[in-house]
Structure 1
Amino acid sequence: MCQIIVFTLVFWISAEAQIGFNLGPNKHAILDFESTNHFIIMEVKFGNVLPLKFIFDTGSEHTLLFKKEYADLLGVQYDRKIPLMGSDMSQEIYGYIARRVNLIISQTYKITTDILVLEEDYLKLEESTGVKIDGIIGANVFKFFVLSVNNRKNKIRLDEAQRFKSPRKYSEIPVRIFRNKPYVDGTMTMGRDKLEVKLLLDTGAGLPILLYTNTDENLDLPAKTIRGTLGSGLGGHLEGYIGRVHHFEFGDYAFDNILSSFQEVESDSITRQGMERNGLIGNSVLSRFNYVIDYPHQKLYMRSRGRLKRKFKYDKSGIQLAAAGHQLKDFIVQRVLPDTPAEEEGVMKGDVIKRIEGIPVTFFTLTGINNILSSRNGRIVKLHIDRDGNRIKKKIKLRKII
């Protein structure tokens, strides 16, 4: 199962990006969202009329539209074309600044703001998530408010800071807000080493934690890792390693044997993005909490949903799938990891899964198939595969690979 990372931008809007907003007569807004593949996905009416799906991303300083054809359809005027930093933090790609774009988020929160429109849909997140995604809601949309995320009810509340009172039964965790992005300090144990790390809280990353291995000489890879695609970012796929960290904690909360991704990036590129950091905490961890980010007062409050001891699951087949076709119901093998059950059974890149456990895949989502492939050890999963027009049956016996 491929985890997804959304890396966003360095500097691109010199003027103030937030133009105007309206919380309504109650001075607060309640925003509904759906949780898919560890992403927070919200409905946004682009230009007040066109219903689109955006990822809510605390790790992005600005708001992005992936599909330029939607902006062109509504006659959006562009200020200028600019280069952007790609997912490997070295490749340049391009986008257009659009000024004073009207957005209605979750039918209740109206805002006029500047956004970035990508020249092409570089991310193609539909392939990795199996759901339609048109853009990213960045911090310029909510940086003036207190933002409360309720992951049990799938709701986000925006409050004016002067009206907000600290929540009861929440732990206050030291946080620094830099360029509208929240950073926390954590501690992790890797082998015999105990490391202090600074991490970005990033709801736009559908994984537990990501560590940049070259930001600390003691940030070594665990003894057991697998190499593979970590996810999708601006400019292409992100390659790295996946392993487990023995112990990780931040604030009052601790995790053992946490699934972790590891990537090497240019340290200068991290510095150019803003605050130096060792990695990020993704939404696979954050979704286990209800939390409040008070942007104006630089405060963070968290409360566990009672799910901290649940294991972080990973695929047990060795198959990485992509969704394509009508309604994203064509499930294509994008990669087969070495020394895994799928490789041993002869599954190949390019195979198209037609049935799983005897049921046509049209009845499944990509998330549903990935859940089956990450279920209990020893389970035998029956696949019907199309390979160059030939139907092939495979039996995959699941086992823990990381």
Structure 2
Amino acid sequence: MKIKFFSTKRPFILILMFFCLSILSFSQNKFVIQNKKQSDKIKFKLISNLIIIPVEVNGVSLSFLLDTGVSKPIIFNLDTLKIKDTETVFLRGLGNKESVEALKSKNNVFKIGDAIKLNQDLYAIYDSNINFVPRLGFPVHGIIGFDLFKDLVVEINYSKKFLKLTKADAYVYKKCEKCERLNLEFYKNKPYINADVTMNEKKIPVKLLIDSGGSDALWLFEDDSLGIKSGNNYFHDFLGHGLSGSVYGKRSKVKNFSLKNFEFNMANVSYPDSKYIAHAKKIKNRNGSVSGNVLKRFNIIFDYQKAIITLKKNRYFKEEFLYNKSGIELAHSGLRLVKERDDPVKDNNKEGFGNSGSQNATRIIINPRYKLSLKPAYTIVELRENSPAERAGLLVGDLVLSINNKASYKFKLQELIHAFYGNTGKLIKLIVSRNNIILTFEFRLEDLF
């Protein structure tokens, strides 16, 4: 007589296999944390108030801008990245140019620290004119936003420069008496908060997109019916780059901007010209955006599933709101050959060989050696009309060779730009190359407020 033990176990095995496959299938549709803590920390770089995080896409290590203002991830100019299941689509962003052609791709594997998603959709853009690297001076291969935030609780510690990603049902809120918690509203997968601005002694409630992908402090859409207007104290300037081109508008100061009990006096504000934001203004009741130069002043907890955001002041909170007082926008423009002096062979005996006290001691002098090196090149790409730099005679396209007698290639792009945010009256001396002719210009930083 045979005992068939396997007959009773088979249904259990099949059920277990079905259960595991169901979990796997479900987890493919969202980011999951692959560790026991269900939480992970990821270090980031903070460049021009923007968060750059490491992201692995289909096994390739890349750098992405963390942008709460985008729905699906976007990748730029990466022919080497193998993407599949594509279809052609058109994307529209800020700027007044046409929509941008892109390839929509499915079933991509995204990994951020220990967080992984197995079938992520993305948009691949191959327009070489859309490139963040020259403006940031740091490689940025793409943008990611909503798909990460919707699946996990995301803590952004701006002061220590790390993200903490946690499974939503495993997250435990700590008691925080100095925090403010605000409700989030969503429209087309983008988060909005309610805030207040004070203009002409009038406190005006505004609904703002939370835009961690913007480096400014505050953008407001002018609206006379609400009392949102620039007044007379402003200047026209380049405001930024969107998917559909550059954005220009007015820069000014707002008397007061508040997020519940957190208040900022004389914060920077920009009023983009309506022709560059026509797409954004179609969103009902939206009055503008709050971006990196405000967000970085807090350590933030984004909890999309509960639709709340928690703010806590950090060491940047009291930083003065500065702006570019030169009128110059620089960009990284590739590499250039630089003739550098190499370290000369040093004479160990300053008095020469022989008797150290002898006036006739022989000295051996070896001429300095030089080497050619490839160094970063920085070019003027925007020049504000009637700015100190323009009045001095500088032009768009000038290649900056040195600033205040220091070679430009010895600086990172953001360090160079920071010099233009200095004290009013500071002297700036630029040596530039224009059509292979070396020219020198001087001007002083100017406060327009």
Q: Give me the TM-score of the superposition, normalised by structure 1.
A: 0.88
1:175 maps to amino acid: L
- The reply to whether residue 290 of structure 1 matches residue 299 of structure 2 is yes
Residues 200-349 of structure 1 mapped to structure 2, 5 A cutoff: 200-214=209-223, 217-265=226-274, 269-270=279-280, 276-326=285-335, 329-349=376-396
In terms of mean alpha carbon deviation, does 89-98 or 244-253 score higher? 89-98
Match runs of 1:3-402 below 5 Å:
19-25=29-35, 26-48=37-59, 50-71=60-81, 74=82, 76-88=83-95, 91-105=98-112, 107-112=113-118, 113-169=120-176, 170-214=179-223, 217-265=226-274, 269-270=279-280, 276-326=285-335, 329-402=376-449
Cα gap change, 1:167/1:123 in structure 2, threshold over 3 Å: closer, same or farther? farther
Shift of 1:188: 0.7
The CA distance in 2 between the partners of 1:29 and 1:215, in whole Å, is 47
Residue 276 of structure 1, CA deviation? 3.7
In structure 2, the partner of 1:6 is none
Distance 2:304 2:188 in 1: 11
Aligned to 2:18: none
User: CA shift at 1:135, angstroms?
Assistant: 0.6
* Structure 2 counterpart of 1:294, one-letter code: D
Single out whichever of 117-126 and 253-262 deviates more from structure 2: 117-126
Q: Which has the larger radius of gyration?
A: 2
Cα 1:138/1:216, change in 2 over 3 Å: farther
> For structure 1, which segment, 128-137 or 331-340, has the greater mean C-alpha deviation from structure 2 after superposition?
331-340
Matched residue pairs, number? 381
Q: Determine the C-alpha separation between the residues in 1 that align with 2:108 and 2:224.
A: 38
Which residue identity is paired with 1:37? S
Q: Deviations over 1:254-283 (max 9, x none)?
A: 1111111111447873376x6641111001
Runs of 4+ in structure 1 over 6 Å off = none
Shift in Å at residue 18 of structure 1? 7.0
* In 1, Cα distance between equivalents of 2:144 and 2:27: 13
SS in 2 for 1:69: coil
Q: Deviations over 1:166-186 (max 9, x none)?
A: 232222123224443221111
Asked if 2 retains the 8 angstrom alpha-carbon contact of 1:211 and 1:262, the reply is yes
Q: Distance in 1 between matches of 2:311 and 2:412?
A: 31
TM superposition shift of 1:295: 1.0
The aligned counterpart of 1:9 is none
User: Gapped runs of 5+ residues in structure 1?
Assistant: 1-15
Tell whether the 8 Å contact from 1:215 to 1:278 is kept in structure 2 after alignment.
Answer: no
Equivalent residue letter for 1:108: D
Q: C-alpha offsets along residues 124-161 of structure 1, whole Å, 9 cap, x if unaligned?
A: 21222222111101211231221111112111111122
* Higher mean C-alpha deviation, range 373-382 or range 323-332: 323-332
- Contact in 2 for aligned 1:17/1:114 (Cα 8 Å): no
Unmatched 5+ residue regions in structure 2?
1-25, 336-373
Distance in structure 1 (CA, Å) of the matches to 2:278 and 2:434: 45
Q: Distance in 2 between matches of 1:95 and 1:151?
A: 32
- In structure 2, do the counterparts of structure 1 residues 219 and 35 end up closer, same or farther at CA, with 3 Å as the change threshold? same
Contact 1:18–1:141 (CA under 8 A) maintained in structure 2 = no
